[in-house]
Chains A and B, each alone.
Chain A
Amino acid sequence: MSFAELGKAVRKQFFYKFKLFFGLFYSLVITQAIAIVFSFNGTGSISSGQIGQIHFYSADIVLVFTFGWAFISALQLTTKPFRDNEYLFVFNRLSSHLSNLLFLLALSFIGGLSAYLSGYLLKVAVYMFFDFQLIGTNDITSPAVVVAGIITIVLYIWMFASLGYMVGSLVQFQKVFAILIPSIIIGCLILVALSESEAIIRIGKFYFFESSFLLVFIKTTATVCLCFLISAVSTNHLEVRK
């Protein structure tokens, strides 16, 4: 198998997947629309006697929802009905994983871009539907910062997608993971809620309190690669069209 052969197959599969999994874009639109509605409540507010009340509006909820959407969409890709559609024409496991990796990146890009833009949509909506005075926070931003911001969002979404992909692949590999992984996630959440577990909060800080763009880039792509490596190894013996 040469790289040219592999590249050709990956490219074909990539475009095929766009047609195949077009439904994921609908679910993106719905997810983000719901998130925007939730955002109308504001993410926080301060009351002050002199100037009344200040509501903070941001697209954070949209982002969180998009992360969830990416995770679940990627997980779906690994399930049997999706795989049966995927393994129809020319493929092997490696080309399939690589094209999924790229497809999820494309998906994240669209999700990230629309999440970013939904911040503006939110401002417009709030301005139109509520009788508020808008106070911009970061109106003057250079294009470079905007681009870096969008790329960062895309990278985070991609990371969540690859996590979902890894979870899905592990479940395909061993059904035990279907019970194990949700228990671990819920367990972690409980730990955070009850005792503010240091380790988990540190993981959160490691990823989300990083101010250097370069480090964000390195951390997320490294995580993505790790997730795909685990997925590829765990499904390398997977039989299709059973």
Chain B
Amino acid sequence: MLQSDGTPIYLQIAEWIETEILKGNFQADEKVYSQYKLAEMFTINPATAAKGLNVLANENILYTKRGLGKFVTKEAKAIIIHKRKNQKLKGLINEIVMEAKRLHVREEELMVMLKKAMKESGGQSGGSDSL
């Protein structure tokens, strides 16, 4: 499930939990997997998994109940969507723009391509995750 594209494992873990939250597999105020459960699932060191959980805790996506584990905050979904729009999507778009420049693709041409891709993936509402 994990990729070896150079993205640190703990970030991949964080992203995986985010996606699960977006999919609704972890609801607000529900407990997410412990570092040990995650370690077991992905065959990774539990310290790495803990680091991934802490990233999310720092971003207010998860909160800690002492001795019980990490739980999903009420705002989690909104935060994740906001973050992904601003970081991941922006980053991807930047890359597209860079590549378009290198290939001398004009703005209009790019827009056409984008719209076509949108249509092919089932319109604007297509919320399939990109992980």
A and B touch in the complex (CB under 8 A): no
B residues bordering A, Cβ < 8 Å? none
